[in-house]
Amino acid sequence: MTTLILSSSYPLPADVGRKVVMSGFLEWLQGAGSAGSAHSGRIVYAHLAPPRREQRDRLAVDLYEAEIDPAWKRLGAMAVEGLLRRRMPLQIAALGAADAAETLARLVAKLAPDLVIADTLRVVPVLERLPLEGARKVLYLDDLYSRRYARMIETIDRHPEAELDSLGTFARFLPNWMTRLVRLPRLQRALLMREMALMEVAEDSAPPRFDRCLLLNGQEAELLRRRSGADNIVSVPPFIKARECRLEPRPLDPPRFLFLGNLGYPANAYGLSRFLSEAAPQLFAARPDASLDIIGKGAGPALQAQVARLGGRVRLRGFVEDLDAALADATALIAPVLYGTGVKIKIIDALARGLPIVSTPTGVEGIEVVDGREGFLRETLAGFVEPLLQLTDPVVNRASSEAALELYRRRYSRDAAFAAYEEAFA
């Protein structure tokens, strides 16, 4: 069997959610070394992106670099197709891979792939130019961007002081002056309203053109089934590689709490900052011996200053190579997620290590975490203090740890994830 993957994202290093998911798909497709599996065969990863010179981690599959159109041509497509004709969302128009489609068409003619995986709606205009008669076509949607943009608009209205980044990783396709312009608050809200409407149309019209559409969040899969009337939409779990965890006593006296997340992402930085101001003082007053480790790169000057004011009990550790060791040495994970959509990979990272979780409901959306079982869910960040203190009790902590690990094994382990992929892609 020959598989072609079309993606605008390079899957390594697997340091953000979409890369984690694509890396999991690749591992399943490679059959984990099992000869004769139904999905063994040649795999070609077609990476659609601007030209880059830096070294990348090498893939274990065939890589085809498809260079997208130059910036001026992509800006023209955004102006005409996105702004004037309003035929497609800007983030789809901005990929601008007309030239790449021509070279990919020749590649596809030689490959004659049996399975084609499109990584999000961004690459669909390219896919539709390819000779794919007879191939099974699967669209990975990541999450519903229309819903993500609606949540961002709600956050702008409810928390005007919050810094949002509606572009995310999409910013790499735009010139610097445009990213600065788009991030102006008033313009950002207007563009989000526009993109929300166009993305909803694009999402609802996609399922009939594919054999299967995949989302991580089961609630979003059900929403898209209702909106589109299609029945070929399913949710699949992300596969998180983690060492098999043995439950060991966690540090409880003194307790060591953990925050995990890329602080260059405004939602993470904003949630953490709010926790440090609204909950951390009460937590440390109740347990002066407690500490908080913050793992994640990208902390800005304001957040660094806020951490410094709390003294040595809060540490910015930056990027950590050995996540297994860091999570094994924690009492509980703090997930102060105030806005966002999709499945939060950090929550599954914690489940995989049997680490109890204290989160907002938004933080565990799409994951079967139950309040009082794998940890605790609270609507407000001030409400985090009481469950964090509860988790310093050995009995409570052990019960939550066992439940977290059981949920990971049942839903997100290699066997569970690969069984879901077998059904979704076969």
**Domain ranges across the chain:** 2-239+415-425, 256-414
- The answer, yes or no, to whether residue 243 has pLDDT greater than 90, is no
∠ CA 243-249-254, rounded to 5°: 120
User: For the ranges 173-177, 288-292, 306-310, 421-425, which has the lowest average pLDDT?
Assistant: 173-177
Handedness of CA 87, 88, 94, 100 (dihedral sign): negative
Mean pLDDT of 135-147: 94
What is the fold of 256-414? Rossmann fold (3.40.50)
For 369-417, how does the pLDDT look when each residue is reduced to its tens digit (9 = 90+)?
999 999 999 999 999 999 999 999 999 999 999 999 999 999 999 999 9
Mean pLDDT of 32-60: 75
**CATH class label, 2-239+415-425:** alpha beta
Same fold, 2-239+415-425 and 256-414: yes
At 172 the pLDDT is 64
At 88 the pLDDT is 84
At 3 the pLDDT is 96
Distance separating alpha carbons of residues 130 and 96, to the nearest angstrom: 15
Q: Long-range CB contacts (< 8 A, 24+ apart) of 130-135? A: 130/101, 130/104, 130/105, 131/105, 132/108, 135/4
DSSP string, 234-252: EE-PPP---PPP------B
Return mean pLDDT, the chain: 89
Work out the pLDDT band at 295, boundaries 50, 70, 90. very high
* Strand pairing report for 332-335 and 357-359: parallel
